[in-house]
Structure 1
């Protein structure tokens, strides 16, 4: 082979090699991160702006609040199921959820079984409220679900220091009852690899700074609690208790509280969780492996199992502007 042919062959090899390397790199990027380490450092709330002020209530606003005392999962009700997203599939969540309310909830629950079960909520509310557990990763833990959840979700499960289940009205008008057995979710369990943060809903904060929050893990001073706040969509299409995508039957109102055309305002569910975490203790939210425990992936689910009478009482309290508690 002459020198010219050798040079030509070498050039072809270099071009093909570069193309192959680019293809491999592109495929790797498209597939997303594969390691399971926790992403993101702690956020100092002093560096974030104050939360936006809520819209002022209009003349027809439903300004009441209803707080349901459901305890803080003293029963240790955990599993890797997700009745809303993957009903009938054991361990379908691939991470562990903590529950308050209905004590029977798992992947095999039905409307009938939920209606007949015991509950941790005062007043008999059999609804189910659940979210991914928060762990401290410097301790292995020895209880169920602390070493068996898999998918990189290991460590001592942090108990909730408090759980607040609250329903609020709408700043524009009156609310209508939720349908019994409504399924709802908030947040985005795949937010870390999603193209945008459009579905990120959870806010993290510190108990001593209630007016500031972040989508990252907060750095809280000693003596303060780490907080998570998860607000659910509150505009219902008036037809469906569930949807194939688990979302399209419900929508969020605008920043001024206006529901999209063709939807009706229902009570807004707000879950507020708090944890005693000493400064410097490493924490991680349970997640899918490729989501790397990102705090942006925080999410929660709800199944309404209130009786029609109890739901009517809740709606009346909100629409009449009263403060109620069960």
Structure 2
């Protein structure tokens, strides 16, 4: 009889233990991988006081020979700062045709129609936020305040642990630069480009980490971590794209082999040609001490090293030709 009671007690314990485990797992799945769990948030080491970041060494001035052989001009493209509220969870470059394929929210300037279902034809026919008529699309993951909940549709639709109030861009600078040692050639229509590594935290290498973070009051200091800026400074992000084209393709598997970065001396790899270098410079008003994070995949835990951006060239032939002429002639232009 005692043996039967002990067996009954063991069965009851197993049943109750299984029910409790199921309830905990169910609650975890419902809440999501980051809810209430510091493991889903950026690590303390992902932040740095900008005053602890050493200044970058001053760049050597270009010699007359460099200026004559290179393309020292610049072209600023005025596309606003996403005043239209163009957000979605799509990624036309990486996952075309797949709704919510990014699993996090992107912010856009330029082409106002861009989503996962966009085509070359739809981009060419759409409206744009760029004052000069550039229909290209430029986009990147949103930056969020972690001290405030997101309540608007585009703040709550991403899921996957991406939560918090989206911080709007205070300024967005879209700029094309030349090559320090060569003339540039035109980008082909509808060239796809990507910079940065959305899976850098788990990649095992920082080879594709490109974004630099900083504070507006310390332009000579940059970091791959989230900067803690003094009161009154803006948080800045700078994303530079590869600018050596293989001369053949507008896209490639992995999105990295048709466009490469030049070497440190500015020389493009063999069998590639220098094209205008796209540089996105973003700035945000963030009160001192407020924690921020970019959207990411859950396992990337909002690491600042996963910052990235995408671009699709939808300029007309004459628009791209004007960019190339300005760069090769060494002028400072604005469109």
TM-score, length-scaled by structure 1: 0.88
Shift of residue 141 of structure 1?
A: 2.3
Whole-angstrom distance in 2 between the partners of 1:54 and 1:183: 30
C-alpha contact (below 8 Å) 1:148/1:154 kept by paired residues: no
Cα 1:172–1:103, aligned 2, differ >3 Å: closer, same or farther? same
C-alpha contact (below 8 Å) 2:107/2:140 kept by paired residues: yes
Match among 236, 259, 268 for residue 268 of structure 2: 259
C-alpha contact (below 8 Å) 2:217/2:233 kept by paired residues: yes
Shift of residue 173 of structure 1?
A: 1.1
Shift of residue 148 of structure 1?
A: 1.9
C-alpha contact (below 8 Å) 1:56/1:171 kept by paired residues: no
Whole-angstrom distance in 2 between the partners of 1:282 and 1:217: 9
Determine the structure 1 residue equivalent to 2:311. 302
Give CA deviations for 1:86-118 in whole Å, capped at 9, x if unaligned: 000000000000000000000000000000000
Aligned-partner SS, 1:218:
strand
Whole-angstrom distance in 2 between the partners of 1:262 and 1:170: 16
Give CA deviations for 1:31-87 in whole Å, capped at 9, x if unaligned: xx9942222342122222222444644131100000000000000000000000000
Aligned residues, how many?
Answer: 294
Determine the structure 2 residue equivalent to 1:132. 141
C-alpha contact (below 8 Å) 2:191/2:251 kept by paired residues: yes
Whole-angstrom distance in 2 between the partners of 1:186 and 1:262: 20
- Find out whether 1:45 has 2:54 as its counterpart: no
Shift of residue 142 of structure 1?
A: 1.7
Shift of residue 204 of structure 1?
A: 0.1
Shift of residue 137 of structure 1?
A: 1.2
Aligned-partner SS, 1:75:
coil
Determine the structure 1 residue equivalent to 2:184. 175
Whole-angstrom distance in 2 between the partners of 1:52 and 1:119: 39
The 5 Å alignment of 1:150-299 reads 150-299=159-308
Determine the structure 2 residue equivalent to 1:88. 97
C-alpha contact (below 8 Å) 1:60/1:172 kept by paired residues: yes
Cα 1:52–1:176, aligned 2, differ >3 Å: closer, same or farther? farther
Give CA deviations for 1:111-139 in whole Å, capped at 9, x if unaligned: 00000000000110000000000000111
Q: Which moved more, 1:262-271 or 1:46-55?
A: 46-55
Cα 1:186–1:55, aligned 2, differ >3 Å: closer, same or farther? farther
Determine the structure 2 residue equivalent to 1:36. 40
C-alpha contact (below 8 Å) 2:138/2:311 kept by paired residues: yes
Aligned-partner SS, 2:147:
coil
Whole-angstrom distance in 2 between the partners of 1:222 and 1:237: 45
Aligned-partner SS, 1:146:
helix
Whole-angstrom distance in 1 between the partners of 2:266 and 2:61: 9
Cα 1:53–1:248, aligned 2, differ >3 Å: closer, same or farther? farther
Aligned-partner SS, 1:122:
coil
Whole-angstrom distance in 1 between the partners of 2:271 and 2:212: 28
Aligned-partner SS, 1:197:
coil
Aligned-partner SS, 2:322:
helix
C-alpha contact (below 8 Å) 1:231/1:268 kept by paired residues: yes
Whole-angstrom distance in 1 between the partners of 2:123 and 2:280: 20
Match among 103, 107, 110 for residue 119 of structure 2: 110
Which ranges of structure 1 fall in alignment gaps of 5 or more residues? 1-32
